[in-house]
Amino acid sequence: MQTQELERMARQIRRRDLQAVFEAGAGHIGGEMSAIDILTALYFRVLRIYPDQPKHPGRDRFVLSKGHTACALYITLAKRGFLPEDEISTFLKPGSRLNGHPNCNKVPGVETNTGPLGHGLPVAVGMAKAAKLSGADYRTFVMTGDGEMQEGSNWEAIMAAAQFGLDNLTLVVDHNRFQQGAALADTNDIAPLRPKLEAFGWEVTEINGNAMAEVVTALEYRGARPHCVVAHTNKGHGISFMQDRVDWHHKVPNKEQYEIALAELSEAL
C-alpha cells in the first residue's frame, strides 16, 4: 500500500477499535490509538507475511510487547486476512480467543504471548538471534510502550542485541508520554530515549509516529546495527477528548462519547 491507502486503512482500524472497546466495555483505547499507524504500516507495507500460512518459516516476526493493546493488533490481523473480521465482535467475551492480551496458541499471526511488560523485547532478541544462527533472512520487529521501557529486562535485551550485532532487529517505542495512572515524566522519566539507545550501540531514528510517511520510511530502514525507532505519538490519537489524557489509558467511552469519537474518526474517511 502507498501512504494514502495506509492512512485510510489506519482510520478504518481506529473506527473498528473504538467500536470493539465500546461494545466490550473494556480495553486500552488510548495506547491503541497511538500505535495504530505503526501497526498499519507494518502489516500492510513492511512485513513479509503469509496470512494463509501464519507459521511460514520465512515470515518476518512482529512482537507486540505492549500486549494490553491487543485489540488493535486483532483488528489489524483481521484486516490483513489472518482471522475473520466478524470475529472482532467477540473481543473479551466468554469463550473468545480474542483475550485482553494476545495468545500465540489461539490467534493466528500472534508470535508470542505478551502482557507482563518487559518480556516482548527479550523474546524478539531471541528471534533475531535465532535467524542469525540458522542463516534465515527474516526480520524481527517489536513494539514497546515508553512506560514499559522502565523495565530493566528491556535494557538487558538492548545490551544483548548490540553484542550479537542484530542488524535484523527493529525496536519501535510508542512514545506517547503517558502510562497507566500518570505521565511518563511524573513516574520514572527515561526520556530522552535516543542518547540512551545510542550509548548502548544502537542506531536510532526519531519520528512523528502518527505521520504515515515518516513511519514507513523508518520501518523500512535497515542498517548495520540494531535499529530503534522512537515514535513520538499521541495517546488517544484522532479523538479530540482522548488525546494526551492519562485517564484514557483504559477508560471506556460512554454512548455520547462514542458517537462523538465515531464522528471525528469518520470525518477524514
Q: How far apart are CA 88 and CA 33, in angstroms?
A: 17
Q: Are strands 203-208 and 182-183 parallel, antiparallel or unpaired?
A: unpaired
The whole-model pTM stands at: 0.97
**Which cell numbers hold the place of 256?**
455520547
**Closest to 161 in 3D by CA, of 206, 110, 117, 127:** 127
pLDDT of residue 251: 94
Q: How many whole angstroms separate alpha carbon 114 and alpha carbon 98?
A: 13
Residue at 177: amino acid letter: R
Cross-sheet strand order for the sheet of 140-145: 61-64, 140-145, 169-175, 227-232, 203-208
CA–CA separation, 54 and 78 (whole Å): 12
Torsion on CA atoms 144, 261, 183, 174, rounded to nearest 10: 20
- State how far the Cα of 119 lies from the Cα of 64, in Å rounded to an integer: 10
Query: Hey, where are the domains in the chain?
Result: 3-266
Cell triple for 159: 545490551
Q: Which residues of 9-44 are buried (b: 16+ CB within 10 A; e: fewer)?
A: bbbbbbbbbbbbbbbbeebbbbbbbbbbbbbbbbbb
Instruction: Name the residue among 3, 9, 11 with its Cα closest to residue 237.
Output: 11
Q: Do residues 13 and 72 touch, judged by C-beta distance below 8 A?
A: yes
Cβ(68)–Cβ(144) below 8 Å: no
- Residues 138-192: pLDDT tens digits? 999 999 999 999 999 999 999 999 999 999 999 999 999 999 999 999 999 999 9
Residue the block writes with cell 477528548: 241
Tell me what pLDDT residue 109 has.
Answer: 98
Q: Considering only CA atoms, which of 20, 7, 77, 1 is closest in space to residue 238?
A: 7
* CATH tag, 3-266: 3.40.50.970
Residue 210 is predicted with a pLDDT of 98
- What residues in the chain have per-residue pLDDT under 70? 268-269
- Selection from 21, 143, 9 nearest residue 81 by Cα: 9
Contact assessment for residue 265 and residue 11, using Cβ atoms and an 8 Å cutoff: yes
Residues 108 and 115 sit within 8 Å (Cβ to Cβ): no
Q: Which pLDDT does position 267 carry in this prediction? A: 73
pLDDT of residue 269: 55
